[in-house]
C-alpha cells in the first residue's frame, strides 16, 4: 500500500507542476501533507517535516550565502572576462551560443557545486538568449545536463556517497568511469549542437553589432530602468551613479513550449561593462578569494555553508565598505535568496513525508524485488538503469545510503563486485540534476525565469538519453 501511495504522490506532484496547476513550492508542501493523512499518519506530519527541515537546513544555508557571494562577484565584475570570451566565441550565432552554454557549464562544474555553476552560467548567457529571443529552456536543459555529468567528480557528491555506502575508495570508482563520462559529456555537446542548429534555423544568425543596435533602439523606447540580480546596478550609498546599460533586451514572449514562463522581462539589462558596482582594482582580491573558497570546499576545511557564510561576509565588507551599499547588494539578491531557500524548505516537507512514512523504503524494496532472478549476474546493468528513476524521485542520500547497499548485496550473491555496482550507480546523475528534490535546479530555473514544469518537460527525455549514453559506453568499455 505504501509503495502505491509513494508512486502516486510523486506522480501527482509531477503532473500538477508540469500542467501548471500548482506552483512547485505549493505542490511540494500540500501534496505530501495530503498523502501523509491518506497513509494514516497525519498526527506525525509535524515530526516528519521537522526531520526534513533539519536535514536540509545546511543546504538551504549554503544556497542562501552562495547566492549572495556569487551575486556580489557578478556585480563587481569577476566573471566579466568569461562572459566576454563566451560572447567572442558565440558571435550572436544561436548554434555557438548553445554550445558555449554547455562548455561554460562544464568548466564551472569543476568546483563540484551545482548552484555555483548555474548562477555563473545563467548570468553569462541569459542576456544573450533574451536578446536573440532564443528558447530559455534550451539554456537550462543544456546547463543541467552538462552539470549532471560533471557532478560525478569525486568532490561533487554522488561518488563520495557511493564510496562511503559501499566502503570503497572514491578514486577507484571514478577514474575507470572517466571514458564513459567523457562519452556522456560528448553526447551533451552533440545535443547542444543539434539544439543550436534548430535555434539557428528558427532565428537566423545576427552579428553582435546588429543585436546591440536593436537593443539601443529598444532602450530609447523604454524610460523605465530596473535592475536584476543578474547584473547589479549602482549601490544606494553616496557616490553611487546610474550607468547606462550596454544594451537593453526587449521584453520577449517566445510563444512556444520551450520558451520558459513567457512572462515579460521589463527593463531587462545585460552585463553592463560600465555598471557602478564594478571593482576593477579589487579584481585579483576577488579572484583569489574565490579560488581560496573553492579550494577550501574541495579540501573540506570547513563545512560548505560556513565557508560561503564567511566568504559572503568578507566579499561584501571589502567590495562595499559602506553599509547602504551592502544593504543595496543584499536587496538586489534577496528575491533569488527567498525563492531558492523557500523551495528547499518546501522540498523538506516532501522528503520528510517520503522518508518518515516509510514510502521510500517500500518503493525501493519493491523495485529490488521485481528484478527477475535471471538478471542477477547483470545487476550492474540493472543498477545503472534503476539509477535513472530512483535518483530522480529520491535524494542522493536516500539512493546511495538506502538503495545501493541492497542492490550491491544482491549483486554480490551473483559475483558482481561492489566497484561495478558503485560505478553503475553514477549513471543517473544527468537526470538527477533536474529532479524537483535538487535545490540547485531552483537556482537554475529561478534565475533563468523559466517555469519548472517547462524545464522538466524539455529536459527529461534528453537527460535520460545522456544517462543511457554513459551506461552504453560503460558496458562497451567493460567498466560496468
Q: How confident is the model at residue 207 (pLDDT cuts 50, 70, 90)?
A: low
Q: What is the pLDDT of residue 236?
A: 36
State the virtual CA torsion across 61, 62, 68, 71 in degrees, nearest 10: -150
Q: What is the pLDDT of residue 194?
A: 95
The interaxial angle of helices 114-131 and 439-447, nearest 10 deg, is: 20
pLDDT > 90 fraction of the chain, expressed in percent and rounded: 26
Q: How far apart are CA 77 and CA 298, in angstroms?
A: 24
pLDDT over 60 (residue 106): yes
Q: Which residue has better confidence, 26 or 363?
A: 26
Q: Which residue has better confidence, 231 or 401?
A: 401
Residues 468 and 361: beta-carbon distance below 8 Å = no
CA proximity to 246, closest of 225, 269, 230: 269
Q: What value does the mean pLDDT take over residues 201-229?
A: 50
Q: What is the pLDDT of residue 84?
A: 76
Q: What is the pLDDT of residue 271?
A: 57
Q: In 352-386, which positions are buried (b, 16+ CB within 10 angstroms) versus exposed (e)?
A: bbbbbbebbbbbbbebbeebeeeeeebbbbbbbbb
Number of other CB atoms surrounding residue 168 within 10 Å: 19
Indicate whether this model's pTM tops 0.85: no
pLDDT over 70 (residue 212): no
Q: How confident is the model at residue 85 (pLDDT cuts 50, 70, 90)?
A: confident
What phi and psi values does residue 248 have, to the nearest 5 degrees?
-120, 125
Give the residue carrying C-alpha cell 554522488: 158
Q: What value does the mean pLDDT take over residues 377-406?
A: 83
Least reliable range by pLDDT among 34-48, 152-166, 197-211, 357-371: 197-211
pLDDT over 50 (residue 381): yes
What are the residues whose beta carbons fall under 8 Å from the beta carbon of 354, sequence distance 6 or more?
6, 9, 32, 360, 394, 398
The interaxial angle of helices 170-203 and 418-425, nearest 10 deg, is: 20
Q: How confident is the model at residue 54 (pLDDT cuts 50, 70, 90)?
A: confident
pLDDT digits (tens, 9 = 90+) for 291-325: 898 788 777 788 878 888 999 999 999 999 999 99
Q: What value does the mean pLDDT take over residues 141-163?
A: 86
| Structure-block grid coordinates of residue 348 | 523538506
pLDDT over 50 (residue 255): no
pLDDT over 80 (residue 363): no
Q: How confident is the model at residue 216 (pLDDT cuts 50, 70, 90)?
A: very low
Instruction: Name the strand (E) or helix (H) holding 188.
Output: helix 170-203
pLDDT over 60 (residue 270): no
pLDDT over 60 (residue 452): yes
Q: Which residue has better confidence, 156 or 469?
A: 469
Q: What is the pLDDT of residue 378?
A: 86
- Count of helices and strands (H, E) across the chain: 21, 0
pLDDT over 80 (residue 20): no
Strand, helix or coil for residue 245? coil
Q: What value does the mean pLDDT take over residues 408-431?
A: 87
Q: What is the pLDDT of residue 111?
A: 66
pLDDT over 60 (residue 47): yes
pLDDT over 60 (residue 356): yes
Q: Which residue has better confidence, 171 or 476?
A: 476
Q: What is the pLDDT of residue 365?
A: 75
Q: What is the pLDDT of residue 250?
A: 30
Q: Which residue has better confidence, 480 or 321?
A: 321
pLDDT over 90 (residue 159): no
Q: What is the pLDDT of residue 256?
A: 40
pLDDT digits (tens, 9 = 90+) for 273-285: 777 888 889 999 9
CA proximity to 197, closest of 97, 66, 329: 97
Q: How confident is the model at residue 472 (pLDDT cuts 50, 70, 90)?
A: very high
Least reliable range by pLDDT among 133-137, 267-271, 330-334: 267-271
Q: What is the pLDDT of residue 211?
A: 52
Give the residue carrying C-alpha cell 522528503: 351
Q: How confident is the model at residue 214 (pLDDT cuts 50, 70, 90)?
A: very low
Amino acid at each position: 500500500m505504501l509503495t502505491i501511495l509513494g508512486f502516486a504522490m510523486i506522480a501527482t506532484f509531477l503532473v500538477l507542476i508540469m500542467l501548471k496547476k500548482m506552483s512547485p513550492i505549493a505542490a511540494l508542501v500540500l501534496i505530501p501533507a495530503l498523502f501523509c493523512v491518506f497513509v494514516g499518519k497525519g498526527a506525525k506530519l509535524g515530526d516528519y517535516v521537522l526531520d526534513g527541515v533539519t536535514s536540509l537546513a545546511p543546504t538551504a544555508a549554503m544556497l542562501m550565502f552562495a547566492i549572495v557571494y556569487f551575486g556580489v562577484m557578478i556585480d563587481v565584475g569577476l566573471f566579466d572576462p568569461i562572459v566576454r570570451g563566451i560572447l567572442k566565441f558565440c558571435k550572436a550565432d544561436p548554434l555557438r551560443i548553445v554550445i558555449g552554454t554547455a562548455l561554460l557549464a562544464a568548466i564551472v562544474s569543476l568546483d563540484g557545486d551545482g548552484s555555483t555553476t548555474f548562477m555563473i552560467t545563467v548570468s553569462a548567457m541569459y542576456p544573450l538568449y533574451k536578446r536573440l529571443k532564443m528558447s530559455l529552456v534550451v539554456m537550462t536543459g543544456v546547463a543541467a545536463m552538462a552539470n549532471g555529468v560533471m557532478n560525478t567528480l569525486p568532490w561533487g557528491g554522488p561518488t563520495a556517497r557511493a564510496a562511503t555506502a559501499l566502503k570503497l575508495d572514491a578514486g577507484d570508482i571514478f577514474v575507470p568511469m572517466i571514458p564513459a563520462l567523457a562519452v556522456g559529456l560528448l553526447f551533451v555537446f552533440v545535443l547542444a549542437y543539434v539544439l543550436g542548429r534548430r535555434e539557428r534555423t528558427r532565428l537566423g544568425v545576427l552579428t553582435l553589432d546588429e543585436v546591440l543596435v536593436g537593443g539601443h533602439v529598444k532602450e530609447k523606447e523604454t524610460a523605465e530602468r530596473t535592475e536584476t540580480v543578474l547584473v547589479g546596478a549602482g549601490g544606494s550609498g553616496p557616490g553611487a551613479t546610474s550607468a547606462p546599460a550596454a544594451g537593453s533586451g526587449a521584453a520577449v514572449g517566445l510563444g512556444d513550449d520551450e520558451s520558459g514562463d513567457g512572462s515579460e522581462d521589463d527593463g531587462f539589462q545585460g552585463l553592463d561593462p560600465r555598471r557602478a558596482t564594478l571593482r576593477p582594482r579589487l579584481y585579483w582580491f576577488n579572484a583569489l578569494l574565490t579560488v581560496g573558497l573553492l579550494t577550501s570546499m574541495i579540501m573540506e576545511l570547513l563545512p560548505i555553508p560556513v565557508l560561503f557564510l564567511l566568504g559572503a561576509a568578507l566579499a561584501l565588507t571589502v567590495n562595499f565598505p559602506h553599509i547602504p551599499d551592502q544593504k543595496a547588494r543584499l536587496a538586489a539578491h534577496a528575491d533569488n535568496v527567498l525563492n531558492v531557500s523557500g523551495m528547499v524548505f518546501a522540498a523538506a516537507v516532501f522528503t520528510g513525508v517520503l522518508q518518515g512514512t516509510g514510502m521510500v523504503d517500500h518503493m525501493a524494496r519493491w523495485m529490488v524485488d521485481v528484478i527477475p532472478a535471471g538478471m542477477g549476474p547483470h545487476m550492474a546493468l540493472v543498477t545503472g538503469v534503476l539509477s535513472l528513476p530512483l535518483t530522480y524521485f529520491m535524494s542522493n542520500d536516500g539512493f546511495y545510503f538506502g538503495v545501493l547497499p541492497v542492490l550491491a548485496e544482491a549483486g554480490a550473491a551473483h559475483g558482481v563486485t561492489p566497484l561495478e555496482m558503485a560505478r553503475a550507480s553514477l549513471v543517473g546523475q544527468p537526470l538527477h540534476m533536474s529532479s524537483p528534490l535538487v535545490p540547485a535546479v531552483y537556482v537554475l530555473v529561478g534565475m533563468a525565469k523559466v517555469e519548472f514544469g517547462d524545464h522538466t518537460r524539455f529536459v527529461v527525455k534528453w537527460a535520460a538519453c545522456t544517462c543511457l549514453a554513459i551506461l552504453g559506453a560503460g558496458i562497451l568499455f567493460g567498466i560496468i
